[in-house]
Homo-oligomer: A and B are copies of this chain.
Amino acid sequence: MTLPKHVRIVEVGPRDGLQNEKQPIDAATKIALIERLADAGVSHIESGSFVNPKWVPQMAGSDEILSNIHRKNGVVYSALTPNLQGFGRAVLANTDEVAIFTAASESFTQKNINCSIAESIERFEPIMSEAKARGIKVRCYVSTALGCPYEGYVAPEKAAHVAKQLYDMGCYEISISDTTGVATPASTQRVLEECLKLIPLEHLAVHMHDTYGQALANILIALQMGISVVDSSVAGLGGCPYAKGASGNVATEDVVYMLNGMGIETGIDLDTLIQAGDSICTALGRDNGSKVARALLTKG
């Protein structure tokens, strides 16, 4: 067991979270959330998605948001860019870093982005070369790395192979994603073992959903394997599109509480983070998906 001393939280609430919330959310509310997260000490905030608003209307104002955030020194404001057009918009909005995504199962890429895994990776080539030319770092998600809503089981070798291709293309960080939250500590360990055969530890991250309540246990195993980058969503923003009413992203507050207890630094102030999550939940009229927030807000 070689627990990391410091963990970098990649906050995905304003993107992965809000894109799955039903209520329309104006740009000002999103900007307020992003700024509160930065005030809490979050150093990497995925702040929007430059997708076609026809497909993801919730992400429509990303240009405005990335352009108007009051930026804090040392904070990375990133965005998802599925194609070169989106990447162009991201550049215009002064996005610090971009993220791309594909999946480890063919059915998922077919149904979700209408192409094969190989095709999805090919499509990233122009983004990668533009990003390289401009010195913009590219992060990548490997969705369904621990299970697929259509295929079920996904071989860990397959997920690791996809991750390796993206690493070889120049992605500086590959986030191994449990899109449907079906993973347990055992399957998490297996897929990370396969990834570690191909990719150095410091280039791997985990992106765990809490749909089956397993996210923190899975993150714990990842930490024990030395992983030091964890994706999470404040207040557990974002449901699960594959199980109505079920949880999606693991709540940042719950991750930070665990890391605090384990003496692992994040640079995040839990109380300020809880306030940030509480504000957006109030704005959305939604229950807080963080158990830590619920316990501490009720107690206080």
Using a CB–CB cutoff of 8 Å, the interface residues on chain A facing chain B are 181, 183-187, 210-214, 216-217, 219-221, 240, 242-247, 251, 254, 257-258, 260-263, 290-292, 294-296, 298-299
* Choice from B184, B216, B240, B245 contacting A261 with Cβ under 8 Å: B184
Whether the pair A240, B185 counts as a contact (CB closer than 8 A) is no
Q: Using A294-B243, A298-B243 as known contacts, say yes or no to A186 and B217 having CB atoms under 8 A apart.
A: no
Which residue of B184, B246, B260 is within 8 Å of A258 (Cβ)?
Answer: B184
- Output the least CB separation between A222 and chain B (Å): 11
Contact check, B181 vs A295: say whether CB atoms are below 8 A apart. yes
> Which of A181, A183, A246 is packed against the most chain B CB atoms within 10 Å?
A246
Q: Cβ of B186 and Cβ of A291 under 8 Å apart?
A: no
Interface centre among A257, A294, A295 (most CB of B within 10 A): A295
How far does the alpha carbon of A184 sit from the alpha carbon of B257 in the complex, in Å? Answer: 8
- CB <8 Å contact, B261 and A299: no
Known: A217-B217, A220-B217, A291-B210. A242 touches B186 (CB 8 A): no
Q: Which residues of chain B are within 8 angstroms of A221 by Cβ–Cβ distance?
A: 220
* Chain B residues in 8 Å Cβ range of A290: 213
A211 neighbours in B (Cβ, 8 Å): 291, 295
Which residues of the partner chain B approach A183 to less than 8 Å between Cβ atoms? 261
Total identical chains: 2
Q: How far is the CB of A263 from chain B (nearest CB, A)?
A: 7
Residues of B within 8 A of A214 (CB): 216, 254, 257-258, 261
Q: How far is the CB of A289 from chain B (nearest CB, A)?
A: 10
Q: Report the bound CA distance from A261 to B181 in whole Å.
A: 12
- Cα–Cα distance between A131 and B94 once the two chains are bound (Å): 73
Bound: A220/B261 CA distance, A: 15
A251 contacts across to B, CB distance below 8 A: 213
**Which residue from chain B places its CB closest to the CB of A211 in the assembled complex?**
B295
Q: In the complex the two chains form, is B295's CB within 8 Å of A246's CB? A: yes
In the complex, A251→B254 CA distance in Å?
Answer: 17
Question: Would you give the shortest CB distance from A37 to chain B, in whole angstroms?
Answer: 19
Residue of B nearest to A262 (CB): B186
What are 10 of the A-B contact pairs (CB < 8 Å)? A186-B262, A212-B291, A213-B251, A213-B254, A220-B221, A243-B298, A245-B294, A245-B298, A247-B294, A247-B295
Name, among A217, A220, A263, the residue most crowded by chain B CB atoms within 10 Å (CB to CB): A217
Bound: A251/B214 CA distance, A: 12
Residues of B within 8 A of A217 (CB): 216-217, 219-220, 258
Q: Are B261 and A291 in contact (CB under 8 A)?
A: no
Which of chain B's residues has its CB closest to A299's CB?
A: B243
Q: How far is the CA of A25 from the CA of B206 in the complex (A)?
A: 43
A295 to B254, CA, bound (A): 20
- Of the listed residues A183, A184, A187, A251, the one surrounded by the most CB atoms of chain B closer than 10 A to its CB is A184
